[in-house]
Amino acid sequence: MSPIDSYRRLVGLTGPTYVVVAFLARMPLAMSQLGVLLLVAGTTGSYGAGGACAGALAVANALGAPLWGSRADRLGQRRVVAVQSVAGALALAALLVIVSSGLPWGVAAVASAVAGLLMPQIGPLARVRWRPITAQSGPHQARLVDAAFSYEGAADEASFVLGPAIVGLGVSVASPTTALTGAAVALAAFGTWFALHETATLTHAATARARSAAARLLTPALVVLCVAQLLIGAVFGSVQTGTSVLATDAGSPGLTGYFHALLGIGSVVAGLAIAALPARFALTSRLRWFAVGLLVLAAPLLLVGSLPALAPALLVLGCTVAPYMITTFTLGERVTPPSRTGAAMTLLASATGLGYALGAAVAGRLADWGGHTPAYAVTVAAGALAVLLSWAARPVLARAEGVAAAEAVPVPAEAAAA
């Protein structure tokens, strides 16, 4: 089955509306961090305050996501994501009121954290739905699930390219308030739509039948994958910081978002192409070689000294980012009991967010000392650590994947038809 046939089959199983809604539902989270930064900075006149509020939103979302994921495993995505979508939208609206009221920015930081805590991680939860959706696909299921994870990885990358771009457009045309209001409305509408879609009921039925009191979440393999995602998050944070410094030094700080988007463009293209890889190219092998690619393609950043030289470096580097992330999420789904998949997927997403914060913080301190090159050195160091981790943890991951394959059982027909 070719990648195009796989993607066509997936859309046929869910209908095109689901794919569109699931994509749009993840946009508000991608928009909110930059929207909050610009809103608070514009109101207070302090980018430090704006950055603190945006960071509070991101960290709270990363810490809260696994808790919501666990509840979705137990109670079903329909109930949990619907509550998150409405509550998250209201929290963003409350943040707008607080910022416009002139209260100290510390209050806005708390409100930002509350909003981040409530907002759903749609991308990881969408991944959870694909195995139940494809349960009746017979021998093609494994290939379809791999294709679905390739698509989801590309969709996540696309959302984090388009989200900030939409915010930038909204700010240019109107104001940060308008942009963040749009994010709140989109979350309430599309997040709730995603929650109520029939695939949520299908997923809950399959999860309930697979539930086991002995199902473990934090296995050695999943811990390794969380560290792997922490490192790719550090790549995102350090690249954005280094690019911001280079663009500012060049007198064009407004170009930072556009250059960072180049990383996402390469990542989206490569992510969609992953579905063409042969099944004999094992996931553990993919992780090792994609990590090597990450290190090799990050190294040229140390030689970049101008924005024109940066563009191709970021575009090429992006070609390893989505494949690496898709592989970690696919392995995470494989090595986790079906009843805990939601928690596992959101935990991996949380590790990415925390890695972003860590990478940005370390790169920022180094940039204060020596400019963009030390910031990009954090990117290269993260790539080197990813290589060491993937090769050192090969036995752990291979053993866990082998055990999961041996214990895998098909979803009962009655569950798939629920």
Question: Would you give the DSSP letter of residue 197?
Answer: S
- The per-residue DSSP string of 74-90 comes to HH-HHHHHHHHHHHHHH
- Say how many Å lie between the first and final Cα of the chain, rounded: 27
Given a contact cutoff of 8 angstroms between Cβ atoms, the answer to whether 302 and 282 are in contact is: no
Q: Please, what's the largest Cα pairwise distance for the chain? A: 62
Give the rounded percent of residues in the chain with a pLDDT score beyond 90. Answer: 50
* Topology at the third CATH level for domain 217-408: Growth Hormone; Chain: A; (1.20.1250)
Residue 135, helix vs strand vs coil:
coil
Domains 17-211 and 217-408 share a fold: yes
Question: Would you give the DSSP letter of residue 191?
Answer: I
Q: What is the CA radius of gyration of the chain?
A: 21
Identify the pLDDT of residue 109: 93
Domain ranges for the chain:
17-211, 217-408
The residue assigned the tokens 């392995």 is 331
Say which residue, 224 or 34, is predicted with more confidence. Answer: 224
For the cut 70, the answer to whether the pLDDT of residue 412 exceeds it is no
Q: For residues 163 and 183, what is the distance between their CA atoms, to the nearest angstrom?
A: 9
Q: For residues 27 and 327, what is the distance between their CA atoms, to the nearest angstrom?
A: 23
Identify the pLDDT of residue 314: 92
Q: Residue 293 contacts by C-beta under 8 Å, 6 or more apart in sequence?
A: 319, 320, 323, 324
Q: For residues 155 and 151, what is the distance between their CA atoms, to the nearest angstrom?
A: 6
Task: Express each pLDDT in 118-151 by its tens digit.
Answer: 999 999 999 999 999 998 888 888 889 989 999 9
* Topology at the third CATH level for domain 17-211: Growth Hormone; Chain: A; (1.20.1250)
Full-model pTM: 0.85
| Average pLDDT of the chain to the nearest whole number | 87
Identify the pLDDT of residue 405: 59
Which tokens in the block code for residue 83?
């509550």
Question: Would you give the DSSP letter of residue 218?
Answer: -
Q: For residues 324 and 225, what is the distance between their CA atoms, to the nearest angstrom?
A: 11
